[in-house]
Amino acid sequence: MSDEIKESQSFFYSPKDVVDVVSEFQKLFSKLESNIKHFIVSQPTFLIELRRKIKTEIGFLSPQKKDMALAIFGIIVTEDIIKKYDPIFFAEDISALMDATDKKTSCTDDEFIGLLTSFLNTLKTVTHSITIIINNFISLKSLNLEDRITRQILIQRHFSTALTEANLCFEVGEFKIDLRFIISIFAHIIEKLLEENEVIEKAKSAGMIYEGIIKTYPLKEGEDILYDIININIIESYYDLISQAFESKIQKRLEVAHEQQVEIQREFQRSSEQQTDQGRIEQILASIEQALYEVMKIQREMTEAKRQNLEKNIEKVMRRLAIEEFGVQDIADQQKYMQYVLDTWFSIFEEYPQMCLPLIDVKQYTKFVSDPVEYIEENKQTIIQQLQFKIRRHTTGERFTPGNLANAFSHIIYEITTNSSVLTLTFDK
Amino acid sequence: MEELEKMENLSTNLLITSIPFVEADLGLFTTVIMTGDEVTQDVSTIMQLEEAKESINILDEFPDKEIIFKSSKYEFIDTSEDKRKTPSLYIIKQDYNEISLLNIIVSPISELNITKTSEVIDYIAQSTAGVFRRTDTLRNNDSLSEEEQQDELRKNLRDLVEFYQWQILSEESLQKSTEQGVQAPMITNSLLLKAEIIRDQVQCMGGCGKTFSKETAPAGVQCECGGEIVITPPSLNLAKVSYVYPEGLKEIINNENAITPESLLMYTKESIMSPKLLTSLNQLSSLKFHDFISIPSMIGYKSKLTNDLINVHLNYFLSSEDEIYIFTCTTDTRYSDQRLVSAVSLPVIMRAFQSNFQGENNWKEVIQRSELKDWITTPFVKIKTLNQFSSLSDILALEIRSDSNE
Ligand SMILES: [Zn+2]
């Protein structure tokens, strides 16, 4: 996977800061608290009208709570706190909210305002997080990941975080709430999006969805259920519908990604043409210099990760060289490439003669150590044979490709730089 | 060569989950994901693996009950060339409430980040606990059958492990970056173990599970019990040990039970892979490592109470085709006494061992020339007779006795 994909934001949802959630709660709470009375006095007709509409739905509330609830809805509408909020939905939501917090039988006025504050903030927070998650989902789909992976990314790195964030909106009001209600808020917002995109006919209210979920999903709390509750009630219920709703956007994103890919390739070819005069061997050397320096000079350990990285770098250079020379990303003249590789090795030995050690006969060690430069010069043919043998062994005798040459090269470097005799020798000039 | 290439491309992720069902035999779930090859569906292999899991639980039976096994890393060594091979093998264990997970990874990734990986396994354990709790509730009010519950657990485990594997191989997010290390640990003791390499063994995959030598029961034939007889990869038989420790270790650790020769050895001994586990893994696919020996290169333990880390770092010296020396250094974040040596010196100590050690004969000299030079080195004792020594000084007394005899 390319680094730009790995670094892309679409792999995670980042939640709000706790401090912000606390201050949002305080702000809305004091706004509702101070405006309720005023609204009741100043807007009698609005309230009468509203009361008629949702009379049965809020029948469970005491007369005083009814007035408060109606006034709060009035404030929501006039202050534009929640857009296009259906009063019936509001009534269904309050009913479920009181159930989900066990406040249906007893609830002080303060608690009531607090609960509605937490609820309204959750509704806003979830609206926001769903927008981001859907956007990330479209990006993920355009990466051509398998659906089962995308589902896990959504559960583990998006919805889990977003669900915890939403739950925090209640925690800051010191309420303990049934997680299934928060899940229902997510489901409701998703259904609204699906309705807008004409994938479903009509979205249900969070309250209504909650009534359904509590019949099928038996657990309401615990960190251990985060994965399961999201998987069952969001992913299994809506994943396919969301894919369907955003199909055209996903397609468009795929096309853009493809065009970018083509452009990158064109760019790459252009830049590689400019480098033709830079020596080929230097190019290969440049791709391994850093790693060699670390291992041979400052005694960092050679690791498999470093080897893999070397392999990638060498392969890149080899491909570029092949494009320069043959116009394709493959090697047409096999012998020529063997020569490049061998020349590169001898340049390495100039800097680090001790790396030649594993290629020579044990009996010759003393001779080698006393004057490595001369030794290499005199025994060049034998060393070449050893190197060729190693390269062929790693490429399993197949025809050279940038991939298998890079693999061979990096393995030989790994072998040599993890050889303890090599590491104990130094020939500092 | 072909085998080796195959090994380098294969990546196996095996998760054995045990869930506390009332019916105990229903509580084991084995999830195997293998990238690059077909997974075996062979029932007896899976059963062997599950049995092998039990043997790993022994690691929890420390004299010091609050120390638990966390993870270990193994390397495959080709004794004919004395080379470490890709892949590496990792074992990671994690518990969540009553659920216990054992994860075995065989992968070309040689530098898995154990901290991050353990977090992922913890998430899998936690999520599985949630699925179990829900399905169990549904089962108790008869809205779910036992079979449906098993299916759900199996399916979720599979999804979770597949994503885990994706994180390792495709996303590469669980590979080594810098690993924690908030507290600088201290080296508390060091061991040199001599082990025989046991080759040419075969094992019955059937009910009896017996081991035979290759001559008496050739692979491919059937055992008396009807089980199939398969090749066992070489395994290690620990023969002798020498201890290296600072003067005053008794006062520093202040727990006599924790520093008996046997308990000090336990940290390493219990992580040498059991032949049974090796054989089952070897059977799992065309992934064959029966030519290689596997030795741990790192074993991690954790304190349940304080989250302190006890790690054993290992290196080896192959003295012949059938004999290997294993050198260990144990680091522990619980102690900070000046008489101990800081783990900062670990790479130097390991490197010194690697370049200087030639065998039993120069062992003391290697220590005297290393950062552990001020420590005490005991003579070698047979591991079989270890229970006769109740303390390290008893072993030391051996030497004094033999010196005075001369
Ligand atoms: Zn048998």
What is the C-alpha to C-alpha distance for residues A411 and A405, in angstroms, rounded to an integer?
Answer: 10
Q: Is pLDDT at A393 greater than 60 in this prediction?
A: yes
What residues does the ion ligand 1 have nearby, CB within 5 Å? B 204, 206, 208, 223, 225, 227
What is the C-alpha to C-alpha distance for residues A236 and A420, in angstroms, rounded to an integer?
Answer: 55
What is the C-alpha to C-alpha distance for residues B269 and B59, in angstroms, rounded to an integer?
Answer: 10
Mean pLDDT of chain B: 84
Same domain for A81 and A203?
yes
The closest CB to that of B111, out of A217, A222, A303, belongs to A303
A222 contacts chain B (CB < 8 A): yes
Same domain for B297 and B402?
yes
User: What separation, in Å, do the N-terminal and C-terminal C-alpha atoms of chain B show?
Assistant: 53
Same domain for A207 and A61?
yes
pLDDT digits (tens, 9 = 90+) for A50-59: 999 998 888 8
Q: How confident is the model at residue B287 (pLDDT cuts 50, 70, 90)?
A: low
H or E element: which one contains B350? helix B346-356
Same domain for A150 and A284?
no
Residues of B with CB under 8 A from a CB of A: 1, 5, 83-84, 86, 88, 96-97, 108-111, 123, 126-127, 129-131, 133-134, 137-138, 141, 156, 159-160, 162-163, 166, 170-173, 175-176, 347, 351, 354-355
Q: How far, in whole angstroms, is CA A176 from its chain's centroid?
A: 31
| Residue whose C-alpha is closest to residue B72's, from B312, B343, B329, B232 | B312
Q: Which residue of A has its CA nearest to B128?
A: A224
Q: Is residue A263 in some structural domain?
A: no
Q: What's the gap in Å between B331 CA and the centre of ligand 1?
A: 42
H or E element: which one contains B391? none
Q: Is pLDDT at A426 greater than 80 in this prediction?
A: no
Q: DSSP secondary structure string, A136-163?
A: HHHHHHHTT--HHHHHHHHIIIIIHHHH
Same domain for A123 and A169?
yes
A417 contacts chain B (CB < 8 A): no
Same domain for B42 and B124?
yes
Inter-chain contacts counted by CB atoms under 8 A, chains A and B: 85
Q: How many domains are there within chain A? A: 2
Residue-number span of the structural domain to which A329 is assigned: 276-424
Please name the residue that has the structure tokens 């006919």: A201
What is the C-alpha to C-alpha distance for residues B24 and B131, in angstroms, rounded to an integer?
Answer: 18
Question: Looking at residue B406, what is its pLDDT?
Answer: 45
| Residue whose C-alpha is closest to residue B72's, from B230, B258, B273 | B273
Q: ipTM for the complex? A: 0.84
Distance to chain A for B155, nearest Cα, Å:
12
Question: Looking at residue A372, what is its pLDDT?
Answer: 86
Distance to chain A for B131, nearest Cα, Å:
6
Higher per-residue pLDDT: B354 or B282: B354
pLDDT digits (tens, 9 = 90+) for B301-355: 988 888 888 999 999 999 998 999 999 999 999 999 999 999 888 888 998 998 8
Mutate to test the interface with A, among B8, B120, B171, B349 (most CBs of A within 10 A): B171
A300 contacts chain B (CB < 8 A): no
Work out the average pLDDT over A347-375.
85
pLDDT digits (tens, 9 = 90+) for B214-239: 888 776 778 888 888 888 889 899 99
pLDDT digits (tens, 9 = 90+) for A244-292: 999 999 998 888 878 877 777 777 666 655 554 347 777 788 778 878 8
Q: Which residues of A touch B178 (CB under 8 A)?
A: none
As given in the structure block, the two tokens for residue B106 are: 């065989």
Question: Looking at residue A226, what is its pLDDT?
Answer: 97
Q: Is residue A143 in some structural domain?
A: yes
Same domain for B181 and B272?
yes
As given in the structure block, the two tokens for residue B352 are: 């010194």
Question: Looking at residue A278, what is its pLDDT?
Answer: 46
Q: Which residue of A has its CA nearest to B86?
A: A304
**Most confident among A50-59, A320-329, B383-392 (mean pLDDT):** B383-392
Residue B237 neighbours by CB distance under 10 Å: 12
Distance to chain A for B96, nearest Cα, Å:
10
Same domain for B111 and B149?
yes
Q: Is residue A265 in some structural domain?
A: no
Same domain for A92 and A192?
yes
Same domain for B275 and B291?
yes
Residue-number span of the structural domain to which B229 is assigned: 200-233
Q: How many domains are there within chain B? A: 2
Among B210, B233, B256, residue at a domain's last position: B233
Same domain for A207 and A303?
no
Q: Is residue A261 in some structural domain?
A: no
Q: Is pLDDT at B87 greater than 80 in this prediction?
A: no
Same domain for A238 and A197?
yes
Q: Do A303 and B111 contact (CB within 8 A), yes or no?
A: yes
What is the C-alpha to C-alpha distance for residues B228 and B233, in angstroms, rounded to an integer?
Answer: 16
Same domain for A166 and A310?
no
Same domain for B359 and B403?
yes
Same domain for A61 and A139?
yes
Q: Is residue A373 in some structural domain?
A: yes
The closest CB to that of A225, out of B133, B163, B176, belongs to B133
Q: Do B196 and B234 contact (CB within 8 A), yes or no?
A: no
Please name the residue that has the structure tokens 């999201």: A230
Q: Is pLDDT at A99 greater than 60 in this prediction?
A: yes
Same domain for A241 and A328?
no
Q: Is residue A86 in some structural domain?
A: yes
Residue B198 buriedness (CB in 10 A; 0-12 / 13-18 / 19+):
middle
pLDDT digits (tens, 9 = 90+) for B356-377: 999 999 999 999 999 999 999 9
Q: Is pLDDT at B207 greater than 80 in this prediction?
A: no
Distances (CA, A) of B46 to B32, B42, B278: 9, 7, 13
Distance to chain A for B227, nearest Cα, Å:
38
Same domain for B219 and B282?
no
